[in-house]
Amino acid sequence: MNFSIEERYNAVVVTLKGNVMGGPDGVSLHERIHELIREGKKNVVVDLSKVKFMNSSGLGMLISAMTSLRNAGGDLRLANVADRIQSLLIITRLITVFKHYESVEEAVKSFETDPPVPVAQTT
């Protein structure tokens, strides 16, 4: 797996490519997500249009990124979810956890129409 990052309007678009299976690639994505958070860029769209395969470690990588972003007051949203990956999300019931959209443009625009809800901080 590799990935590219592009800023669009009020969101950062991360395009994943190849087989998403966690491992060292997952670590570098995790590090990049935390860099974005430190830069104040907390609205992320993950474009899955170029993903060939995803396993449970790949799903775990997305869940970890989403959790980090939500805890920072942002969100991670999915775009271009292929049928095979959508089936995986349905089987694991994660379809109810991730907000997903038909296109990157819809997902980016969703941050305006449906902004992230800040997570209440407990002290």
pLDDT tens for each residue of 9-37: 889 999 999 999 988 888 999 999 999 99
- For residues 119 and 73, the answer to whether their CB atoms sit within 8 Å is yes
CATH number of the domain at 73, please.
Answer: 3.30.750.24
- Stated pTM of the model: 0.91
46: helix, strand or coil: strand
User: For residue range 46-99, what is the model confidence (pLDDT) as tens digits?
Assistant: 999 999 999 989 999 999 999 999 999 999 999 999 999 999 999 999 999 999
Q: Give how many domains the chain has, as a whole number.
A: 1
The dihedral built from the CA positions of residue 40, 9, 70 and 17, taken in this order, carries a sign that is negative
Q: For residues 57, 86, 76 and 20, what is the CA-based torsion angle, rounded to 10 degrees?
A: 30
Give residue-wise pLDDT tens across range 79-91: 999 999 999 999 9
Is 44 within a domain?
yes
pLDDT of 121: 54
Q: Identify the domain containing residue 15 by its residue range.
A: 1-109
